[in-house]
């Protein structure tokens, strides 16, 4: 049975025994149920046998399989549980690879426990902004907006008849923009779809913008993979993005 919001189940995957033990105990003190793994293959086996979790905390550098390989294997198997990378690798190339692979967040191990716990609560307890909830209340079927088809029952999108390889987060971002076609959607609103309403990330009050730009860059690429002429997502400098129906 799936863990409740009051005691969310976290899978902690890290080959550093001391770090894993220390963080695990801290998370237990915060009210989480924690299951530990020292490498990737046992994680895949856990889910293959029907294991459940609310969030996976995943290290990058591990023996046998690195974190990105574990993430990709999970997604290939159909496991959509949110994955957060927790690593000392701070270069943007790693963060972009993680997000492109389907991770929902990328956190430096040196960040305070309180930061990690806040992100876990937002993700594990399913906190989402009202605009997404409203969209889900309005429909559980298919909506067609020009060349875009949105399948809310399975969280899938098609463009010009071709299925787009969007993650759940990317689908939500596209759905919000497309259903408000011609209207500006702010960086803040888009970021809230990923991390929860009013959460502040990065460095400084505007630190979330780079994260949003990474998501939009990836979404555009996926549309252009099926349609090289795709130009429906426009940036409005300093504010956010807009979906244009007549691009």
The pLDDT, as a whole number, for residue 229 is 93
Average pLDDT, the chain: 80
In order of start, what are the domains of the chain with their CATH numbers? 9-124 (3.40.50.2300), 130-243 (1.10.10.10)
The pLDDT, as a whole number, for residue 125 is 62
The pLDDT, as a whole number, for residue 1 is 35
Low-confidence ranges of the chain (pLDDT < 70): 1-6, 90-91, 124-140, 194-208, 246-247
The answer, as to whether pTM is greater than 0.75, is no
In angstroms, the CA 58 to CA 32 distance is: 16
Cβ neighbours of residue 42 closer than 8 Å, sequence gap 6 or more: none
Q: Which helix (H) or strand (E) holds 117?
A: helix 113-124
The pLDDT, as a whole number, for residue 107 is 80
């Amino acid at each position: 049975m799936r863990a409740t919001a009051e005691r969310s189940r976290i899978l902690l995957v890290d080959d550093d025994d001391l770090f894993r033990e220390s963080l695990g105990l801290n998370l237990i003190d915060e009210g989480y149920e924690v299951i530990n793994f020292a490498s990737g293959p046992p994680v895949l086996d856990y889910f293959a046998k029907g294991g459940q979790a609310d969030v996976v905390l995943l290290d990058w550098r591990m023996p046998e399989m690195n974190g990105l390989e574990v993430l990709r294997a999970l997604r290939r198997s159909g496991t959509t549980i949110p994955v957060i990378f927790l690593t000392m690798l701070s270069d943007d190339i790693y963060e972009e690879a993680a997000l492109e692979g389907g991770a929902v967040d990328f956190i430096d191990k040196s960040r305070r426990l309180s930061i990690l716990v806040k992100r876990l609560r937002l993700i594990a307890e399913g906190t989402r902004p009202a605009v997404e909830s409203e969209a889900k209340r309005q429909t559980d079927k298919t909506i067609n907006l020009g060349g875009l088809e949105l399948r809310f029952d399975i969280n899938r999108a098609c463009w010009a008849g071709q299925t787009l390889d969007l993650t759940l987060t990317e689908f939500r971002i596209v759905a919000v923009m497309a259903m408000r076609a011609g209207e500006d959607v702010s960086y803040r609103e888009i970021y809230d779809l990923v991390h929860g309403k009013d959460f502040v990330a990065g460095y400084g009050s505007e630190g979330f913008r780079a994260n949003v730009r990474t998501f939009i860059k990836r979404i555009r690429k996926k549309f252009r993979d099926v349609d090289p002429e795709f130009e429906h997502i426009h940036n409005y400098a300093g504010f956010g993005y807009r979906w244009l129906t007549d691009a």
